[in-house]
């Protein structure tokens, strides 16, 4: 089966990581897979020739245009794919154009964002062959808000992009803490996300500032993005000093998960959080605001705590209970690993996509999962 995956650019976000994971998995399963991006480069762009899929960019030089896809239809027709999988908001905006240009192919839109959808994206939802949402909440929102027929939209959760190291966890933990000047006995709170206003890292800084100063806590914030400098300024204003570390973007943050104790996430806008499922498989209990789809990333009250959005007092209370109770942390850690490892494996998610693709090719798509 010929599969074409379309993405505007391979920047450092969670959708881009899922794009690469799926491209590699489809190719490894024996399918001819091409990844087409609008822009060249990006933090996650392949740099060698060892990828099992074909990758090329439509823009010959980097011009900073996320929406510009010169020659997209011509390239798609030349490739003649059976399946076209659109990843990211910009690529999904071309769903209508690609379905019209490739009437014999199944073009599949994906819903992976809590942000408002541009009009071409909303239009494409009604024109493409099928839609994949990465959470049940996103699916229900699409049905209610965009009048999508339930049979035309399936749920396939994101897959785990990073798994725990098989050995030397203690040495990894010690090395990372030493590198960031964090005491061995401190409780490390971790958030891995792009710094954008909706990710709301600034709320985590305020929450940490409100904890008992005697509590040995350090907040690690990993990622980059436009809201980073405002968060740095807020940390300085709050006088957090050694209680916060800005770690930058890491291609592989697995060692951070191994070195941390708790996952904290205050995002206002999600469809599904890659960070939270990765934290779960590494055994980190979660405390997170109840943005769309977050309740599907862990088991509330068993492997973490779901907090009403912007209820900082409730967030602080739950966080304090986990900080002060190592037995509770250990119990929730075990449940977290069990949940994530049973739900979000790359093999299971890849199989779900390929099963959907085969049904689309055969003209049988009655899934309402």
pLDDT digits (tens, 9 = 90+) for 190-215: 999 999 999 999 999 999 999 998 88
Give, as one character, the DSSP assignment of residue 300. Answer: B
- Residue 275 contacts residue 316 (beta carbons within 8 Å): no
Whether the Cβ atoms of residue 83 and residue 361 lie closer than 8 Å to each other = yes
Please, how many CA atoms are within 13 Å of residue 368, restricted to the half-sphere of its CB?
A: 6
Give the helix ranges, DSSP H, for 52-200. Answer: 72-79, 89-92, 95-101, 119-125, 136-146, 169-179
Q: How far apart (Å, rounded) are the C-alpha atoms in residues 50 and 149?
A: 41
Q: How many CB atoms lie within 10 A of CB 271?
A: 26
Q: Cα separation of 158 and 156, whole Å? A: 7
Confidence of residue 53 (pLDDT cuts 50, 70, 90): very high
C-beta separation of 194 from 12 below 8 A: yes
In this predicted structure, which of 105-114, 158-167, 310-319 has the lowest mean pLDDT?
Answer: 158-167
Is it the case that residue 366 has pLDDT exceeding 60? no
Number of helical (H) and strand (E) elements in the chain, helices listed first? 14, 13
The two three-digit tokens of residue 153, written as one number: 């939209």
Q: Which pLDDT tens digit goes with each residue over 76-120?
A: 999 999 999 999 999 999 999 999 999 999 999 999 888 889 999
> Who has greater pLDDT, 164 or 218?
218
End-to-end CA distance of the chain: 24
Average pLDDT of the chain to the nearest whole number: 94
CA distance 273 to 286: 12
Q: Which two tokens stand for residue 250?
A: 């890491």
pLDDT at 368: 44
**Whole-prediction pTM value?**
0.90
Token pair in block for residue 80: 């003649």
Dump pLDDT digits (tens) for 236-264: 999 999 999 999 999 899 999 999 999 99
Percentage above 70 pLDDT, the chain: 98
For the chain, which domains are there?
2-159+345-362 (3.40.50.2000), 169-343 (3.40.50.2000)
C-alpha distances in Å from residue 50, one per residue of 26, 47, 286: 15, 9, 36
């Amino acid at each position: 089966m010929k599969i074409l995956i379309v993405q505007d650019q391979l920047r450092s976000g969670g959708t881009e990581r899922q794009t690469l994971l799926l491209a590699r998995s489809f190719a490894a399963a024996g399918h001819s897979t091409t990844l087409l991006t609008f822009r060249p480069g990006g933090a996650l762009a392949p740099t060698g020739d060892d990828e099992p899929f074909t990758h090329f960019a439509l823009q010959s030089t980097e011009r900073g245009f996320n929406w510009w896809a010169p020659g997209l239809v011509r390239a798609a027709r030349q490739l003649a794919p059976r399946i076209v999988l659109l990843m990211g908001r910009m690529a999904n905006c071309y769903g209508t154009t690609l379905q019209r240009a490739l009437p014999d192919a199944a073009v599949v839109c994906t819903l992976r964002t809590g942000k408002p959808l541009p009009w071409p994206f909303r239009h494409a939802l009604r024109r493409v062959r099928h839609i994949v949402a990465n959470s049940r909440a996103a699916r229900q929102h699409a049905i209610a808000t965009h009048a999508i027929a339930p049979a035309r939209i399936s749920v396939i959760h994101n897959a785990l992009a990073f798994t725990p190291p098989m050995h030397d966890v203690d040495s990894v933990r010690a090395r990372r803490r030493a590198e960031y000047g964090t005491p061995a006995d401190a409780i490390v709170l971790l958030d891995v996300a792009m710094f954008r206003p909706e990710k709301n890292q600034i709320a985590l800084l305020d929450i940490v500032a409100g904890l008992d100063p005697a509590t040995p806590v350090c907040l690690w914030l990993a990622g980059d993005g436009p809201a980073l400098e405002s968060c740095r300024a807020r940390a300085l204003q709050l006088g957090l000093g050694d209680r916060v570390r800005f770690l930058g973007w890491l291609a592989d943050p697995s060692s951070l998960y191994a070195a941390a104790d708790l996952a904290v996430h205050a995002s206002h806008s999600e469809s599904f959080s890659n960070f939270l499922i990765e934290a779960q498989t590494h055994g980190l209990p979660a405390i997170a605001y109840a943005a769309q789809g977050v309740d599907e990333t862990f088991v509330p009250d068993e492997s973490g705590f779901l907090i009403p959005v912007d209820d900082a007092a409730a967030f602080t209370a739950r966080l304090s209970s986990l900080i002060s109770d190592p037995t509770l942390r250990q119990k929730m850690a075990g449940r977290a690993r069990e949940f994530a490892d049973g739900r979000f494996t790359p093999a299971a998610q890849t199989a779900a996509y390929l099963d959907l693709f085969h049904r689309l090719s055969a003209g049988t798509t009655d899934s309402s999962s």
